[in-house]
């Protein structure tokens, strides 16, 4: 997924390109020509303003090649609305596909739920130190790559900074898959005993890369006992792969707490590592978009990458996440608000646009 090159191996025929507001078309010898008050070529066009309804092309490049790095930053709040990171939608199209293979809200794609940023220090995704969204995921394409950001925000997002780094001329072999990512949400409406669908059945040969979850607890007591299920290659009622709980799946244990006890009240601890993390615990509203007290339903963000323990599938894949809690009387079914992003590679581009909904559908609690 990284396609890490050897610096001492100077391959012929490969060139590097960067797309940003200083060179929107990524043209050779054409960057940084805009003028500022300091003069021509002195940081004259570092950012753009995103208008409501605008679809900004971040990169449009002919292949073969590999998208290697994506960096974006912008303000989380505007005068009209505090949910910029849920209202901007990132989309990616490969080759001649008319439907995007990547569709996710900006923040959630970079492992930041609830329309707020958290510090993330993983290998493929880094958010540092405050809303500096980075993705180091190899995204091969054969004939064309197009990356856009769609604004469904109600007013102008001023100062939208971005950069897409890629190489062109790479040898994209037949066994290199196309990158996909899809956001989905069960907004407290799945019903007790029904599982959140992380990834509906995709068909083809591929590798599952990872998962991001943003959980809003809608009931009291512990919420993370549910198991994630991977149904591969014809699995029907029962999966071939499973976890033993959501906090186990993301590398944690014992409800992420400093202890299992009634007194003193246990405190959850956050962490972020190369392959897994529990990055956000929020119980207070921070946007200051109202004159009322700031308690809110508890929210939790976590991620898990399968770079070192890949999940391969030859024919099809379906991924689900249970909603199960625990208290002194044992396990119980829950009905929480779970938003997720699934990341995977597939042997052909396929459209994933059907779950993104409207900005209101994505509104954080």
CATH number for the domain spanning 333: value is 2.60.120.1390
What is the count of structural domains for the chain? 2
Over the stretch 128-173, which tens digit does the pLDDT of each residue have? 998 999 999 999 999 999 999 999 999 999 999 999 999 999 999 9
Question: Are 217 and 283 in a shared domain?
Answer: yes
Question: Are 195 and 67 in a shared domain?
Answer: no
Over the stretch 172-188, which tens digit does the pLDDT of each residue have? 999 999 999 999 999 99
pLDDT class of 353 with cuts at 50, 70, 90: confident
Structure confidence at residue 59 (pLDDT): 98
Average pLDDT, the chain: 96
Structure confidence at residue 278 (pLDDT): 98
Structure confidence at residue 4 (pLDDT): 61
Over the stretch 298-323, which tens digit does the pLDDT of each residue have? 999 999 999 999 999 999 999 999 99
Structure confidence at residue 7 (pLDDT): 65
In a domain, 107, yes or no: yes
Which range marks the domain in which residue 20 is found?
1-174
Question: Are 230 and 118 in a shared domain?
Answer: no
Average pLDDT for residues 96-119, to the nearest whole number?
97
Over the stretch 36-65, which tens digit does the pLDDT of each residue have? 999 999 999 999 999 999 999 999 999 999
Last residue of one domain, picked from the residues 159, 174, 189:
174
Q: Which residue in 133, 132, 147 sits closest to 67, CA to CA? A: 147
- What percentage of residues in the chain have a pLDDT greater than 90? 95
Question: Are 218 and 167 in a shared domain?
Answer: no
Last residue of one domain, picked from the residues 174, 208, 234:
174
């Amino acid at each position: 997924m990284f396609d890490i090159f050897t610096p001492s191996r100077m391959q012929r025929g490969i060139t590097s390109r960067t797309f940003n507001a200083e060179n929107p078309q990524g043209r050779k010898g054409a960057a940084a020509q805009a003028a500022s008050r300091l003069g021509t070529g002195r940081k004259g066009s570092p950012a753009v303003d995103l208008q409501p309804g605008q679809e900004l092309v971040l990169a449009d490049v002919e292949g073969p090649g590999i998208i290697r790095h994506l960096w974006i930053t912008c303000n989380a709040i505007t005068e009209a609305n505090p949910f910029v990171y849920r209202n901007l939608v990132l989309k990616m199209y490969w080759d001649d596909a008319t439907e995007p293979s990547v569709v996710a809200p900006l923040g959630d794609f970079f492992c930041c739920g609830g329309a707020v940023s958290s510090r993330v220090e993983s290998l493929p995704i880094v958010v540092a130190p405050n809303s500096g969204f980075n993705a180091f995921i190899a995204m091969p394409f054969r004939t064309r790559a197009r990356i856009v950001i769609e604004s469904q925000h109600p007013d102008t997002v001023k100062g939208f900074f971005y950069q897409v780094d890629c190489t062109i001329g790479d040898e994209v072999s037949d066994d290199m898959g196309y990158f996909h990512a899809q956001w989905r949400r069960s907004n407290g409406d799945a019903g007790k005993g029904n599982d959140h669908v992380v990834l509906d059945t995709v068909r083809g040969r591929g590798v599952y890369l990872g998962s991001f979850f943003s959980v809003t607890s809608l009931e009291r007591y512990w919420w993370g006992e549910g198991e994630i299920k991977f149904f591969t290659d014809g699995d029907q009622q029962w999966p071939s792969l499973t976890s033993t709980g959501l906090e186990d799946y993301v590398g944690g244990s014992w409800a992420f707490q400093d202890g299992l006890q009634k007194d003193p009240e246990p405190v959850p601890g956050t962490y972020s590592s190369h392959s897994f993390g529990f990055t956000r615990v929020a119980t207070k509203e921070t946007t200051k978009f109202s004159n009322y007290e700031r308690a809110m339903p508890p929210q939790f963000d976590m991620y898990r990458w399968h770079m070192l323990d890949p999940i391969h599938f030859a024919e099809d894949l379906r991924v689900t996440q249970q909603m199960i809690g625990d208290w002194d009387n044992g396990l119980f079914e829950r009905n929480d608000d779970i938003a997720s992003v699934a990341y995977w590679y597939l042997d052909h581009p396929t459209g994933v646009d059907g779950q993104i909904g409207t900005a209101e559908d994505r509104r954080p609690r």
